[in-house]
Amino acid sequence: MKNILEGLNSYQKEAVTYIGSPLLLLAGAGSGKTRVLTHRVAYFIQQKIAKPSEILLLTFTNKAAGEMKERTFKLLPEIKNLKSNNLFAGTFHSFCCRVLRSDGNCIGIPPTFVIYDSNDQENLIKNILHELGLTVKEFKPSSVLYYIEAAKNSFQTPKEMASQSHGFWQDYATKIYSLYQKKLFEFHALDFNDLLFKTVELFIEHPDVLAKYQDIYRFIMVDEYQDTNQIQYLLTKLLAKKYNQITVVGDASQAIYGWRGADYRNLVSFTADFKNTKVINLEENYRSTQIILNAANSVISKNNSHPVLKLFTQKKSEDKIKIFEAESEVAEADFIAQKIRFINDNIKIPLRDIAVLYRMNAQSRVLEEAFLRLSIPYVLLGGIRFYERAEIKDILSMLRFASNKADHISEERIEKALGKRKKSLLLEHLKDMDLKNLTSLQILESLVINSGYLNKFDVKDEEDQKRIENIKELKSVAAAHPSLSGFLENITLVQQEYSLQEKNKKKENRDGVKLMTLHSAKGLEFEVVFLVGFEEGILPHSRCLINESEIEEERRLCYVGITRAKDYLYISYATRRLFFGKSSLNEPSRFLSDIPSELVEFEENIEIVRDYRRPKKNDDDLVYDPDIY
């Protein structure tokens, strides 16, 4: 029989073998939480504490669930009859879907119900708006769906939302919510959030059904508990109420999805709702050096609203965190590209083990162009290359048509993006523009404003905010290339570099530097990490500067970024940045001053780098040639 406890530290062993009251595992970054959870499942099965069919293992992605299941089975090679369907490891939604297919008829949901995707939902909202005599301009479908999703995540019915609504928009949003639910019921359909909402509703209204599932799944294990929202918390609370055999794993310091409804306070509520909860801290880190962990501890310790773990490691290294102060975002991106080339050539760290992390998707543009100039392969994770984003293509089609009225392809895209009426208005506006005497930036701003294109977006919507930021970042390119023809030529050349890199890289080959947002990096680790744009207004984001709870979430985001690094960490900021088409003087992020000076050292340029947009009078200074862009 395999020794499941082999290789675990004392706290991990305690976490795996603990039996009795509810268990809360506060697991720091890199502390082996997945290992502990899978070993705990395997231990319970091996020791016959639980049958595989009595364990409910919940997580947030199918990939994570599949990996946990696979790891568990590998730990139990001696159990011959352990079949995949004996152990439920899956997402909250997949579990709820199973429940509703079986017992949803108790609340009028047939087993053949369909699940609407986002397109189905938007089309249904548009139909409802038409019925009510409302326009998509007044009530953008994605904004209404965001409102409905927030209500469902908080387990709020249309009636409950109506009782607390105020103002014209919310009053109508609650009516739309009510009609939306009625139509879903008529169509025998559920949306993604209904899967959880209706399961909780079923359990509350039919205690016998709840008791059935409590008896089936006596042992509940939940991963990433800091990322649960209110309804997910309520679901686990209901399921575990009878036997109190529940284990949850989480780390409040890595709670970075508050904007999505996740509530790290569920970790605190858990100990209040489940009496006699055993709490075990997993603070030994198996990923990063102690210098990197000391920096992370120093940053996160400034948060006061949640428990903070103090990470430590046995891993030894004298390499300090490197800080680079750039004179511009171009100089910053160039330094990063050159440093990556140096690390790859001299330290022989593969490009796939290097990551560049940033706060906003729009920041990828200048980095991508620096990598393309130096022919450094890169992979954009969790995002689309800057010039391939739909909103950027839409704006570029307007600019290309302005430059060349015979460009029928661009004209078609404009009509698709704006509709026939707005396209006609834009064409009329173009007739009145003196393009020869305007800069590319002036033309871009005029077309964006007068086309009404920005009306497509809701500033309260997180995804729409990113699209608006991307459009603003395109202004930075226009500011660097005053002539419209030069601006469009530059972009065409960059896009050509994209194409060449894709042709030279097999689709299955992901061996390039990883570029991604800090949010996308959670759960990953790399030998070398570059944290870029470490400035006030970027990290922390300007939208968060007046709200202390949002500043705390930004600090957690910074903490997540730091703890992705295993051996080498670079932090960079620019003293002057052309961002969103405007030049600004930026202060370094407040989080930089949280890191003790003895943990860092300033990095010098590999070679002299000057921003071509601000050429110096001294001929000896290296000046960028715009043609290479």
Eight-state DSSP code of residue 588: B
Could you tell me which residues come within 8 angstroms of residue 112 by beta carbon, excluding any fewer than 6 positions away?
188
Confidence of residue 621 (pLDDT cuts 50, 70, 90): very low
Of 223, 464, 473, 554, catalytic? 223
pLDDT, tens digit (0-9, with 9 covering 90-100), for 389-436: 889 999 998 998 888 887 788 888 899 889 888 899 899 899 889 888
Alpha-carbon distance of 247 to 515, in angstroms, equals: 35
Q: For residue 474, is pLDDT > 70?
A: yes
pLDDT tens for 158-183 read: 999 988 878 888 999 999 999 999 99
- Out of 156, 199, 232, 254, the active site residue is 254
- Name which of 40-44, 189-193, 526-530 the model is least confident about: 189-193
pLDDT above 70: percentage of residues in the chain: 92
Check whether 387 has a pLDDT greater than 70: yes
Structure confidence at residue 623 (pLDDT) = 30
* Residues 178-201, mean pLDDT to the nearest whole number: 93
Q: Taking residues 209-223, what's their average pLDDT?
A: 96
pLDDT band for 594, please (50, 70, 90 cuts).
Answer: very high
Inter-residue contact 423 to 415 (CB < 8 Å): yes
Confidence of residue 506 (pLDDT cuts 50, 70, 90): very low
| pLDDT, position 432 | 87
- pLDDT confidence of residue 106: 96
**pLDDT value of position 626:** 28
Q: What is the mean pLDDT of residues 561-570?
A: 97
Q: Higher confidence at residue 541 or residue 86?
A: 541
- Rounded to an integer, what distance in angstroms lies between the CA atom of residue 87 and that of residue 58? 11
Q: Using CA of residue 602, residue 608, residue 613, residue 614, what is the dihedral sign?
A: positive
Report the relative pairing of strands 576-579 and 582-585 from DSSP bridges.
Answer: antiparallel
Q: Which of 3, 12, 9 is nearest to 76 (CA)?
A: 3
Longest dimension (CA), the chain: 84
83-130 confidence digits (pLDDT tens): 655 889 988 998 998 999 999 999 999 988 888 887 788 889 999 999
Cβ atoms of 527 and 348 closer than 8 Å: no
Best mean pLDDT range from 376-380, 413-417, 429-433, 569-573: 569-573
- Flag whether pLDDT at 618 surpasses 90: no
Pairwise CA distance, residues 544 & 327, whole Å: 25
What pLDDT was estimated at residue 29?
94
Active site residue 224: yes
186 belongs to the catalytic site: no
Q: Is the pLDDT of residue 568 over 70?
A: yes
Interatomic CA distance for residues 581 and 604, integer angstroms:
28
Q: Residues 6 or more apart from 461 whose CB is under 8 A from it? A: 140, 142, 143, 146
Res 503: pLDDT: 52
Q: Is 442 one of the annotated active-site residues of the chain? A: no
Whether residue 564 lies in the annotated active site: yes
**Of residues 12, 33, 236, 339, which has the active-site annotation?**
33
Catalytic residue among 54, 191, 224, 554: 224
Is residue 13 part of the annotated active site? The answer reads: no
Question: N- to C-terminal Cα distance for the chain?
Answer: 62
Contacts 24+ apart (CB under 8 A), 406-413: none
pLDDT at 331: 94
Distance from CA of residue 199 to its chain's centroid?
A: 27
| Cβ-based neighbours of 356, under 8 Å, separated by 6 or more | 336, 367, 513, 514, 515, 516, 529, 530, 532
Residue 79 pLDDT:
76
What's the mean per-residue pLDDT of the chain?
Answer: 88
Average pLDDT over residues 587-615: 75
Catalytic residue, from 152, 198, 218, 564: name it. 564
- pLDDT at res. 501: 57
pLDDT (tens digit per residue) in 357-369: 999 988 999 999 9
Which residues have C-beta within 8 Å of that of residue 477, sequence separation ≥ 6? 365, 487, 490, 491
* Percent of the chain predicted with pLDDT > 90: 61
Active site residue 492: no
Confidence band for 510, pLDDT divided at 50, 70 and 90: low
Give residue 608's pLDDT: 39
Each residue's pLDDT tens digit, 224-263:
999 999 999 999 999 999 999 999 999 999 998 888 888 9
Tokens of 365: 């543009």
